[in-house]
């Protein structure tokens, strides 16, 4: 499937302004919703796993690259999505999960991880060695970052017997894993982008990777888009125009834009038009899933006595308080402010808690309750008005899981529209 991305880059250079969006989530409902929504669209569906989600030790999902691939394929078989239209990628593959270790040990783990991703058929590989390891300066010298990226590429190439993966280099500001507190972002300068490219090109050549360099198809840059806990920094084409103009010098390259969650539809279309042909989205999808589940829980509260209710919001709050490691570093303020952020922050740290057994049980109870009752149209109208309209027209089944999947799919609609033009 890497040939699709190579063709995408060639077409963009020929002023055919199409793109591709990347679903960066491991949640089964998000993946199922994406497959159902993308099925009528053209081209493959790109699904990416980060180094924290999936690695040789299981990541926070408990899945290796092979297990994640099989879980994706199982969902595809369930939904009828053709396996040959699934494009798998690895995002931010590098030493990030092992930053606490000495550099050599962390890089050894990272190389093995990248090798496994490619061995298991992932064809889009983001090489990101930008973060320092134990005892190293922060930030790392750019030359050292490029040298480590080349080392990761060599590991990938060693496993590329059946496939020829394409590579993404560079990293965005801020670092992966959390949103900004301060919403003042500088767009990457053309000179900085050029420096990153040149350093990586030289590092690849020094490592004997000349054959791999033409498969470096995208550079991660900062186009000036980001989201904080409660606001979104929208794309402004004028500010990015010097950066986008530089692509004319590199016909074999496009930009990859991270943190595009919550951008307005017209902003996503403008990003693709301006050369940011790969759009990453993740928290925005699980945020939409959480909204739908909480709306269903509100409907449940109207229909069932307290003793029968799932109490889903309360179980989530209890799980987050009992295991604060996934949100505590990100949410500051008073206890009341933290409580609000735990549920309603755009960064959606709540996404790390859906696999907690008590939360899973609450979700199961919620769905079981609502499957036993006809959901009144009036309650749908109150709590899920977009899905209410579809139920009224007969285009959506009035049942909890179809309603939930549709809500996630709606968050993907702007991406499909922006990349299919």
Task: Specify the residue for token string 């591709």.
Answer: 20
- The per-residue pLDDT for range 115-141, each reduced to its tens digit, is 999 999 999 999 999 999 999 999 999
Which two three-digit tokens encode residue 329?
């570093």
Residue 379 has pLDDT above 80, yes or no: yes
Task: Specify the residue for token string 């279309």.
Answer: 269
State the chain's mean pLDDT as an integer: 94
pTM of the prediction?
A: 0.95
Helices (H), 159-189: none
H-helix or E-strand spanning residue 113 = helix 103-119
Q: What backbone torsions phi and psi does residue 111 show, to the nearest 5 degrees?
A: -65, -40
CA distance 336 to 355: 25
User: Given pLDDT bands bounded at 50, 70 and 90, which one contains residue 184?
Assistant: low
Helices (H), 277-344: 283-303, 312-322, 335-344
> Which whole number is the average pLDDT over 402-415?
98
- Residue 135, CB-side half-sphere exposure with 13 Å CA sphere: 6
Residue 421 has pLDDT above 90, yes or no: no
| Domains of the chain from N-terminus onward | 2-281 (3.20.20.70), 286-411 (1.10.400.20)
- The per-residue pLDDT for range 309-332, each reduced to its tens digit, is 999 999 999 999 999 999 999 999
Which two three-digit tokens encode residue 369?
């309750």
Residue 177 has pLDDT above 50, yes or no: no
- The per-residue pLDDT for range 190-227, each reduced to its tens digit, is 999 999 999 999 999 999 999 999 999 999 999 999 99
- For residues 253 and 9, the answer to whether their CB atoms sit within 8 Å is yes
Coil vs helix vs strand at 22: strand
Expressed in angstroms, the distance from the first to the final Cα of the chain is 21
H-helix or E-strand spanning residue 232 = strand 232-233
Query: Which residues does 391 contact at the CB level (< 8 Å), separation at least 6?
Result: 377, 380, 397, 398, 403
- The per-residue pLDDT for range 62-76, each reduced to its tens digit, is 999 999 999 999 999
CA–chain centroid gap for 215, Å, is 22
- The reported pLDDT for the residue numbered 10 is 84
Which two three-digit tokens encode residue 279?
């759009």
């Amino acid at each position: 499937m890497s040939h699709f991305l190579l063709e995408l880059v060639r077409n963009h250079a020929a002023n055919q302004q199409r793109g591709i969006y990347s679903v960066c989530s491991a949640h089964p409902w998000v993946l199922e919703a994406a497959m159902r929504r993308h099925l009528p669209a053209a081209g493959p569906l790109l699904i990416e796993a980060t180094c924290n989600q999936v690695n040789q030790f299981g990541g926070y999902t408990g899945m290796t690259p092979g297990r994640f691939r099989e879980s994706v394929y199982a969902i595809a078989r369930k939904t009828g999505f053709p396996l040959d239209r699934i494009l798998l990628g690895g995002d931010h593959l590098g030493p990030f999960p092992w930053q606490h270790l000495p550099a050599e040990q962390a890089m050894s783990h990272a190389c093995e991880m990248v090798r496994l991703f490619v061995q298991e058929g992932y064809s889009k590989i983001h090489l990101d060695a930008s973060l320092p390891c134990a005892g190293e300066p922060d930030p790392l010298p750019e030359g050292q970052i490029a040298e480590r990226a080349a080392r990761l590429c060599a590991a990938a190439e060693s496993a590329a017997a059946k496939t020829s993966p394409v590579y993404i280099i560079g990293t965005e500001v801020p670092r992966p894993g959390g949103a900004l507190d301060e919403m003042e972002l500088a767009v990457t300068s053309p000179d900085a982008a050029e420096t990153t490219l040149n350093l990586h090109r030289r590092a690849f050549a020094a490592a004997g990777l000349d054959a791999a360099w033409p498969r470096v198809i995208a550079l991660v840059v900062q186009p000036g888009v980001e989201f904080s806990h409660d606001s979104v920094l929208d794309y402004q084409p004028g500010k990015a125009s010097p950066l986008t103009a530089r692509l004319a010098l590199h016909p074999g390259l496009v930009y990859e834009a991270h943190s595009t969650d919550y951008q307005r539809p017209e902003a996503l279309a403008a990003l693709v038009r301006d050369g940011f042909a790969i759009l990453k989205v993740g928290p925005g999808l699980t945020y939409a899933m959480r909204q739908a589940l909480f709306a269903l829980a509100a409907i449940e509260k109207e229909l069932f006595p307290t003793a029968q209710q799932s109490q889903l919001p309360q179980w989530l709050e209890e799980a987050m308080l009992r295991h604060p490691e996934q949100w505590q570093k990100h949410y500051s303020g008073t206890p009341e402010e933290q409580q609000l952020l735990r549920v309603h922050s755009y960064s959606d740290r709540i996404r790390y808690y859906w696999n907690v057994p008590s939360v899973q049980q609450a979700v199961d109870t919620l769905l079981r309750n609502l499957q036993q009752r006809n959901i009144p149209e009036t309650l749908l109208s109150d709590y899920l008005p977009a899905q209410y309209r579809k139920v009224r027209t007969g285009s959506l089944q009035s049942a909890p899981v179809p309603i939930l999947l549709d809500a996630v799919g709606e968050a993907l609609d702007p991406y499909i529209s922006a990349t299919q033009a």
